[in-house]
Amino acid sequence: MVITPEMRSRIEAAMEKYPQKRGALLPALHIVHEAVGHVTPETARELATLFDLRPPDVMEVVHFYNMFYDRPQGRHHVYVCTNLPCSLRGARSLVRALEAHLGIEAGETTKDGRITLGHEECLGACAYAPMMRVDDEYHEDLDVEEAKRILDGLE
């Protein structure tokens, strides 16, 4: 079982808030990702049972959203916004610098499993570009050196 009793009771608490329990599927997927980082077919089957859905119904939701994954990710998500306002202020050069610093390309994970680096669409920080999201935190008004320092501080 991937879904622990503790996760299950949190999911069931979320279900109470919606007129149909399926409304709690996104909250449930967030809970799963917080705990184990991605959704395997086994997890999808467990969720399907919990929600009275079929496994493909769960899997198609996983595949639709950027923040849900069907394969293991690094311990830390590092996503640099490379949409237009950020690119105007050097976001793409920042990505290239971080790729070089980590020795991976955007979309990949470092060999030690520490960091997954990626591009992301507009994160709502356009005036403070370039910026990146590290897990739940925004780091704004970045320069390359500061960005590297932040990455080096991740375990």
The yes or no reply on residue 52 touching other proteins (CB under 8 A) is: no
- C-alpha distances out from residue 77 to 11, 26, 150, Å: 24, 19, 12
| End-to-end Cα distance, the chain | 28
The yes or no reply on residue 55 touching other proteins (CB under 8 A) is: yes
Closest CB to other proteins among residues 95, 102 = 95
Binding mask 18-47 for other proteins (x = CB under 8 A): xxx-xxxxxx-xx----------x--x---
The yes or no reply on residue 49 touching other proteins (CB under 8 A) is: no
The window from 4-12, 103-111, 120-128, 142-150 that contacts other proteins (CB under 8 A) reads 120-128
The yes or no reply on residue 125 touching other proteins (CB under 8 A) is: yes
Smallest CA-to-CA distance from 116 within 46, 38, 51, 54 is with 38
Residue 122 beta carbon to other proteins: minimum distance, rounded to whole angstroms: 4
Distance, CA of 153 to CA of 23 (rounded, Å):
37
Instruction: DSSP letter for 122, please.
Output: -
Angle between helices 55-64 and 25-36 (to 10 degrees): 70
**Angle ∠(76,121,87) on CA atoms, nearest 5:** 105
The window from 1-9, 97-105, 107-115, 117-125 that contacts other proteins (CB under 8 A) reads 117-125
Judged by the rule CB under 8 A, the positions of this chain that interact with other proteins are 17-20, 22-27, 29-30, 41, 44, 51, 54-57, 59-61, 63-68, 82-85, 87-90, 92-93, 96, 120-129, 133, 136-138
